[in-house]
Amino acid sequence: MKIAVVGTGAIGSFYGGKLAHEGRDVHFLLRSGIAKIKRSGIRIRGQKENFHVARVQCYETADAIGPCDLVLIALKATNNEALLQLIPPLLHQHTILLTLQNGLGNEDFLAQHFGDDRVMGGLCFICLSRISPGLIEHLDYGHLIIGEFIGSLRARTCAVAREFQQSNVVCQMVDNLMEERWRKLVWNIPFNGLTIAAGGITTEEILREASLHSAALALMNEIIEGAKSCGHNLTGDVAVEHMKRTETMGAYKPSTLLDFEAGRALEVEAIWGEPLRRAQANGAAMPRLEQLYVLLKSLNARRE
């Protein structure tokens, strides 16, 4: 498979780096930092993941890459408009577009502009921190869940999963991608949101302070109801599991909080706005999510 990586931030560098390190034919599209990556390659450092891709095929334009079999999309969702220019030169008749972006709406965006049938989605369960172009700190986790946007698993789903698995990435396939996205949002919506809106606190502070803990749980249950309204069969157990896992995280700052503190744009629509709109369109009352979305949108807008 000829593979392109669009967006060489933390996620693109890590998963693209894993594939390249195991000898796959990976082509990185970069907007900045290309000279440094050409010179020094991609380095992932951490206790569980520590490797260096010395020779990285990297490019300033999509035309220079040309048609690929698989395109990993790892841009911030706030930059999706740029894909309208970046994707077409990468397409042949059967090119697969796999979005590794957060939240809801990214598969739809790709489907709308490049056709339903090309689109797959992946959820990244990983804690990374980008130090500089090509230098990524790996903090924890790393597995992927991938699935088809339309229809159920097919031969190409397995082929894509195998690319990752053969590159030492734990990669699971699921039949219902959107249900997995909602399951992940049950964590992301409260924890990414409240850590920002409550003034820059860690997940540990949310668990420790009774009223924050209860606000997080109430949000989780609201999102589970929102998911149900959209036809996804999540139960209250999802909240319980997420809470248990969060207890093992220590004083963790979600990537969106780090983005916010660094003055970078938040993916407000993908993580909070789109789930809200979908649940409300299906008649779910989402008072907590609505208020949190409005506050985050305002906080985000004031820093742009």
Binding mask 209-238 for its own copies (x = CB under 8 A): x-xx-xx--xx--x----------------
Please name the amino acid found at residue 181: R
| Coil vs helix vs strand at 14 | helix
Nearer to its own copies, 22 or 205 (CB): 205
297 scored as a contact of its own copies (CB under 8 A): yes
H or E stretch covering 109: helix 106-114
Nearer to its own copies, 34 or 268 (CB): 268
CA-nearest of 202, 225, 11 to 99 is: 11
CB of 205 to its own copies, least distance (A): 8
> In whole angstroms, what is the distance from residue 95 CA to residue 88 CA?
10
Which residues ranging from 49 to 78 are in contact with its own copies (CB under 8 A)?
none
Contacts of 299 (CB under 8 A, 6+ apart): 196, 197, 260, 266
Stretch that binds its own copies, among 20-28, 129-137, 204-212, 235-243 (CB under 8 A): 204-212
Tokens at 212, concatenated: 């924050």
292 scored as a contact of its own copies (CB under 8 A): yes
> In whole angstroms, what is the distance from residue 57 CA to residue 281 CA?
44
CB of 204 to its own copies, least distance (A): 13
Specify whether the CB–CB gap between 102 and 75 falls below 8 A.
no
Q: How is residue 196 annotated by DSSP?
A: H
293 scored as a contact of its own copies (CB under 8 A): yes
Contacts of 64 (CB under 8 A, 6+ apart): none
CB of 279 to its own copies, least distance (A): 14
Q: Is 38 a catalytic residue?
A: no
Q: Which of 18, 76, 184, 253 is catalytic?
A: 184
CB of 236 to its own copies, least distance (A): 17
- Residue of the chain from 82, 139, 197, 258 that contacts its own copies (CB under 8 A): 197
> In whole angstroms, what is the distance from residue 8 CA to residue 73 CA?
9
Catalytic residues: 184
Residues that bind its own copies (CB under 8 A): 194, 197-201, 205, 209, 211-212, 214-215, 218-219, 222, 287-288, 290-295, 297-299, 302-303
